């Protein structure tokens, strides 16, 4: 069997975030056809959760990078912030040691934060898994409404990321993109001077019980890490521009805001109004999926694809989303989800989904079929096999 070394930003079990869902699925697929070793950031306790997934697990403590460090780096280097976020001399030493001790056909970096470590191995061994077209995400963030300082940061980071991603993608033997849209962005960025294949985000559909909400709980769900700017921007707009009208128009309506690191203003909103439940981090989102009648994705910033959309589709939870929220997925508005862009669109769509059981059932059923056919890992496996096959790995 050919050997592959995978570099991970975190131990992917439990898969309590989008990147972890992708990384766990890819590890399991690769382990069927290759001998897989992995180096991940994590704690000594997490080593036991990585060990069953790979042949040879290594766990390295996550580096501490303070805000003063980030400020210094912002002015002292041309590298993007994300390229320095997980740089660690100990992790670099682990990579060097692994490639010196073993013969690997490939070293695969999961996401841009691990991409700098590809510079430690020869170009013919480098595989870059691009979880997002990061330069695009920051460009969109710079163009979205928001604090001037945050928009300036995103403009600077978008330019730096474009240079960095162009270098990483063009010097890697293979780049994996999560969607055709992201792949096209990376092809354009490199002027076609790269080997890029689409391996979509996926989930284990069987891990999610299909329970479409036959009787509306009139509960809306917002799901995601709440210190991530696209999510922060989305939930702020939702709570301020949409939710008041929905709560006034729909008796007993309420919102679950589920995700780690909620901002203080959102916590205070939940304290003032019992119809807004702010949970903080949860290790299993499925109970909240089961208790809700709609997943809301009012995203105005982003790239890649949203794994939380796939989770909702597998669980039978209808989705209301902007175009950007479902970008990169083969979902059709009116068939698999409802699209809404303006505040008025959102208010109308939420009222419709919360009050129409037949619509909820139709959207949920169609979405489950789509995710089974296109986004279960069993359906994605051939794409990964073909991508590796094109470079002889």
pLDDT given for residue 217 in this prediction: 84
Given a cut of 80, whether residue 214 has pLDDT beyond it is no
pLDDT band at 64 (very low <50, low <70, confident <90, very high): confident
Given a cut of 90, whether residue 75 has pLDDT beyond it is no
pLDDT tens profile 93-149: 999 999 999 999 999 999 999 999 999 999 999 999 999 999 999 999 999 888 898
pLDDT band at 232 (very low <50, low <70, confident <90, very high): very high
pLDDT given for residue 30 in this prediction: 97
pLDDT tens profile 125-138: 999 999 999 999 99
pLDDT given for residue 82 in this prediction: 94
Higher pLDDT, 392 or 72: 392
pLDDT given for residue 302 in this prediction: 86
pLDDT tens profile 261-279: 999 999 999 999 999 999 9
Please give the class, per CATH, of domain 206-375.
alpha beta
Domain 3-202+377-390 and domain 206-375 have a common topology: yes
With helix as H, strand as E and coil as C, how does the chain read? CCEEEEEECCCCCCCCCHHHHHHHHHHHHHHHHCEEEEEEECCHHHHHHHHHHCCEEEEECCCCCCHHHHHHHHHHCCCCHHHHCCCCHHHHHHHHHHHHHCCCCEEEEECCCCHHHHHHCCHHHEEEEECCCHHHHHHHHHHCCCCHHHHHHHHHHHHHHHHHHHHHHHHCCEEEECCHHHHHHHHHHCCCCCCEEECCCCECHHHCCCCCCCCCCCEEEEECCCCCHHHHHHHHHHHHHHHHHHHHHCCCCEEEEECCCCCHHHHHHHHHCCCEEEEECCCCCHHHHHCCCEEEECCCCCCCCCHHHHHHHHHCCCEEECCHHHCCCCCCECCCEEECCCHHHHHHHHHHHHHCHHHHHHHHHHHHHHHHHHHEHHHHHHHHHHHHHHCCC
pLDDT given for residue 139 in this prediction: 95
Higher pLDDT, 70 or 379: 379
Asked if CATH classification 3.30.70.20 holds for the domain at 3-202+377-390, the reply, yes or no, is no
pLDDT given for residue 74 in this prediction: 67
Residue ranges per structural domain of the chain: 3-202+377-390, 206-375
């Amino acid at each position: 069997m050919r050997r592959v070394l995978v570099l991970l930003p975190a131990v992917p079990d439990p898969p309590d975030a989008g990147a972890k869902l992708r990384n766990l699925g890819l590890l399991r697929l690769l382990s069927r056809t290759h001998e897989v070793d992995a180096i991940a950031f994590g704690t000594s306790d997490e080593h036991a959760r990585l060990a069953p997934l790979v042949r040879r697990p290594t766990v390295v403590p996550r580096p501490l990078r303070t805000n003063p460090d980030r400020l210094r780096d912002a002015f002292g280097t041309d590298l993007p912030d994300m390229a320095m976020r997980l740089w660690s001399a100990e992790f670099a030493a682990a990579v060097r040691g692994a490639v010196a001790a073993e013969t690997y056909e490939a070293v695969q970096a999961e996401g841009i934060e691990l991409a700098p470590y590809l510079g430690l191995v020869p170009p013919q061994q480098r595989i870059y898994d691009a979880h997002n077209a990061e330069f695009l995400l920051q460009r969109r963030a710079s163009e979205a409404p928001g604090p001037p300082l945050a928009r300036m940061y995103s403009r600077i980071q978008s330019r730096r990321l474009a240079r960095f991603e162009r270098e990483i993608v063009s010097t890697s033997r293979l780049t994996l993109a999560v969607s055709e849209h992201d792949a096209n962005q990376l092809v354009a960025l490199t002027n076609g001077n790269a080997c890029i294949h689409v391996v979509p985000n996926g989930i284990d559909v069987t891990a999610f019980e299909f329970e479409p909400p036959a009787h509306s709980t009139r509960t809306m769900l917002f799901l995601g890490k709440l210190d991530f700017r696209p999510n922060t921007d989305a939930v702020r707009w939702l709570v301020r521009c949409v939710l008041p009208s929905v709560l006034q128009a729909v008796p007993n309506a309420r919102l679950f805001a589920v995700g780690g690191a909620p901002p203080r203003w959102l916590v205070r909103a939940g304290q003032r109004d019992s119809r807004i439940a702010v949970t903080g981090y949860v290790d299993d989102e499925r109970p909240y999926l089961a208790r809700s009648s709609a997943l809301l994705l009012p995203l105005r910033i982003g790239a890649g694809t949203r794994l939380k959309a796939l989770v909702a589709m597998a669980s039978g939870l209808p989705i209301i989303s902007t175009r950007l929220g479902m970008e990169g997925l083969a979902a059709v508005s009116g068939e698999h989800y409802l699209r809404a862009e303006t505040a008025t669109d959102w208010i109308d769509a939420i009222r419709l989904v919360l009050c129409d059981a037949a619509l909820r059932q139709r959207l949920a059923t169609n979405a489950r079929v789509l995710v089974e056919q296109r986004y279960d890992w069993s359906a994605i496996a051939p794409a990964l096999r073909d991508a590796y096959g094109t470079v002889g790995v």
